[in-house]
Amino acid sequence: MTETGSGGTPLLTRAVVVAQKEHTEDAYVSPVSIWEMAIKHRIGKLALPTEDVESAIAEQGFRW
């Protein structure tokens, strides 16, 4: 089972979601990762399930 975005695109595998929820420390996402996602999306190498990537990341339990 996977967590999915609005288009049914897998965001995180169930194992990652479970591990992240069981972990008591904060998990952070680098702004550089978001920048890389934006570049790949712009050149057509990455389909994003939403335009609001910041909110989607926060909904998955990650912090900046």
Is the predicted pLDDT of residue 4 greater than 70, yes or no? no
pTM of the predicted model as reported, rounded to 2 decimal places? 0.52
Is the predicted pLDDT of residue 31 greater than 80, yes or no? yes
Mean per-residue pLDDT, 33-43: 90
DSSP single-letter state for residue 56: H
9 vs 43 pLDDT, higher one: 43
Is the predicted pLDDT of residue 2 greater than 70, yes or no? no
Length of the chain measured in residues:
64
Instruction: Please compute Rg for the chain using Cα positions.
Output: 12
Could you tell me which residues come within 8 angstroms of residue 53 by beta carbon, excluding any fewer than 6 positions away? Answer: 34, 37, 38
